[in-house]
Structure 1
Amino acid sequence: MTELHLALLLRGPAHGYEVKQAYDRWFPDAKPLAFGQVYATLGRLVRDGLAEVVETRSEGGPERTVYAVTDAGRERLRAWLAEPAPPAVAGTEDVVRKTVVALRTSTPGRPARAVALEQRTAHLRRVRELQSHDPAADDVATRLARRYAVLHLDADLRWLDEAVEALDSPTPEEPR
């Protein structure tokens, strides 16, 4: 998240509220950035020399601290962009954890099959939400982010289908 804050500050000096608004515009389908997270990250960036406080404004309202990227911050962002993101680790997604936990705990009234089917329904609902937006109204970055989300949901749906199929098949009980 540090690098995202640096990228958002590259547009010019900004206070925390502006950073949060820009993030929410850049990633409209993601969970909105929490104010506490924004200010904590900006504080770490200043502490680490990646950003600096350039002014403090009042403008008739609450005091706002304005931040800007330093040369070290620009270099950090360049290095981050040059390094490929690591592939996701299998089994780290909540959908996998919940299904495995439901299977291994044999929770009465909440069989693993029901957990997988409910998750599948939630995934299908989210795919429909993402696809209901008019792609012509979005910029390229937003269209790409939405497409990424849909493809990931599609992969999860394929896995959920396999999980339901496996749960429907009679197999010997696994040791716990």
Structure 2
Amino acid sequence: MTFRRSTLAMAILGLLENGPLHPYGIQRLIKQWGKDQVVNVGQRTSLYRMIVRLEEAGLIAAGATERDERYPERTVYHLTDAGREVCREWLSEILTTPRNEFPEFPAGLSFVMLLPPETAGELLARRRELLTRRIAELRRELEATVDGQPIPRFALLETEYQVAVTVAEAEWIDGVLRELRSGTLTWKPGPV
């Protein structure tokens, strides 16, 4: 069975590398380790559906059922050899192959000419303010500790990347705003 790669599936397989977990434990680690910033977990039902699909594909397997008087029964899942192999393949593909992921912002920019330049400038200035806040949040995450210990750098590489990309976007917007203010970038609003 061919399984379509997704960041949620890879996160589940990756977390199970450390040992068996129940779905709630997987969800808790995704949040605790900040992986929810780069993996769209969605609602809890999305996680459970993905676990079922991974199990049906033979990439993970159900193990024991844990019992705790405070919680309902929880099935613990572990990574299969096939799941480990698929996770490594996906990781290799993701790290080596640039992909156009069609984010919304560039799509919006492609139709900016529908707005007056002044309005576009106001909207981009607002985005720039939000980016400034996001950069500060990300930098705080880089300085976070767990149990008083700094988080190892290898566990924060995605956050470092997000800082770099967000800073680059903010600098690009600064340049566009300068050009809009000086009048070197302008257009007549309306249909193309």
Give the TM-score taking structure 1 as reference length: 0.81
Q: Check conservation: 2:61, 2:78, Cα contact below 8 A.
A: yes
Provide the rounded CA distance (Å) in 1 between the counterparts of 2:36 and 2:46. 18
Question: Structure 2: 5+ residue runs without aligned partners?
Answer: 1-6
Question: Structure 1: 5+ residue runs without aligned partners?
Answer: none
| Residue from 32, 53, 73 that aligns with 1:25 | 32
Partner in structure 1 of residue 134 of structure 2: 126
- The answer as to 2:57 corresponding to 1:62 is no
Give the counterpart letter for 1:16 in structure 2.
P
Provide the rounded CA distance (Å) in 2 between the counterparts of 1:150 and 1:74. 30
Provide the rounded CA distance (Å) in 2 between the counterparts of 1:57 and 1:172. 64
Superposed CA deviations along residues 4-45 of structure 1, whole A, max 9, x for unmatched, are 210111111111011111222332671783422221211110
**SS of structure 2 residue aligned to 1:121:** helix
Partner in structure 1 of residue 59 of structure 2: 50
Q: Check conservation: 1:99, 1:115, Cα contact below 8 A.
A: no
Q: How many residues align?
A: 172
Provide the rounded CA distance (Å) in 2 between the counterparts of 1:63 and 1:23. 21
Superposed CA deviations along residues 78-137 of structure 1, whole A, max 9, x for unmatched, are 2123323532528x3333334444x23327xx8111110000000011112222353672
The Cα RMSD (Å) is: 2.7
Partner in structure 2 of residue 138 of structure 1: 151
Partner in structure 2 of residue 74 of structure 1: 84
Q: Check conservation: 1:27, 1:142, Cα contact below 8 A.
A: no
- The answer as to 2:173 corresponding to 1:173 is no
Provide the rounded CA distance (Å) in 2 between the counterparts of 1:129 and 1:40. 31
| Residue from 174, 177, 184 that aligns with 1:161 | 174
